């Protein structure tokens, strides 16, 4: 099986030795996205709703580069700095899907890169 690296300037550049996403067969694996604004390279979000909005924009940019949409997403993983953010993140996240929701898990972790509160990764099927 071949793999194709898919990156876009419309999402933040990786902050480590990884790519934004990898297409393997008909599956797109999108690396965890945090609320980095790709235009500035900074975290501009001031609250959990704004962080989630930026994360979803970053994911959408990567999906678009691969010729996909949120409708192609089959699995998501959400990492939170605190489970008290669950309802806020869930509300923003849910607006990106039209009822045919992907499988998902949400976990709280001790710390996330750049001290953000939210990180989301997805798997999409072409």
pLDDT tens sequence across 86-102? 999 999 999 999 888 99
Q: In this predicted structure, what is the pLDDT of residue 99?
A: 83
Contact status, residue 40 vs residue 99, Cβ threshold 8 Å:
no
Q: In this predicted structure, what is the pLDDT of residue 73?
A: 98
- Specify the pairing of strand 27-33 against strand 73-80: unpaired
CATH code of 90's domain? 3.30.1330.40
Whether the pTM exceeds 0.85: the reply is: yes
- Percent of the chain at pLDDT > 90 equals 94
Per the structure block, which two tokens stand in for 102? 């992907």
Q: What is the largest CA-CA distance in the chain?
A: 42
Sheet holding 118-125, edge to edge: 3-6, 21-24, 27-33, 118-125, 73-80, 103-108
Average pLDDT over residues 4-23: 96
Q: Answer yes or no: is pLDDT of 2 > 90.
A: no
As for how many domains the chain has, the answer is 1
What confidence category does residue 1 fall into, taking pLDDT thresholds of 50, 70 and 90?
confident
For residue 114, what are the domain limits?
3-125
Q: In this predicted structure, what is the pLDDT of residue 24?
A: 97
Which residues, in sequence order, are CB contacts of 39 under 8 Å at separation 6+?
Answer: none
């Amino acid at each position: 099986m071949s793999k194709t690296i898919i990156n876009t300037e419309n999402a933040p550049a990786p902050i480590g030795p990884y790519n934004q996403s990898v297409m393997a067969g008909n599956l797109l694996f999108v690396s965890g996205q945090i609320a980095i604004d790709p235009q500035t390279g900074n975290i501009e979000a001031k609250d959990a709703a704004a962080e989630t909005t930026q994360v979803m924009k970053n994911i959408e940019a990567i999906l678009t580069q691969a010729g996909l949409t949120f409708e192609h997403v089959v699995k998501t993983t959400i990492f939170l700095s605190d489970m008290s953010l669950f309802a806020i993140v869930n509300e923003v996240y849910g607006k990106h899907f039209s009822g045919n929701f992907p499988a998902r898990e949400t976990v709280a972790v001790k710390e996330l890169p750049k001290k953000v509160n939210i990180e989301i990764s997805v798997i999409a099927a072409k």
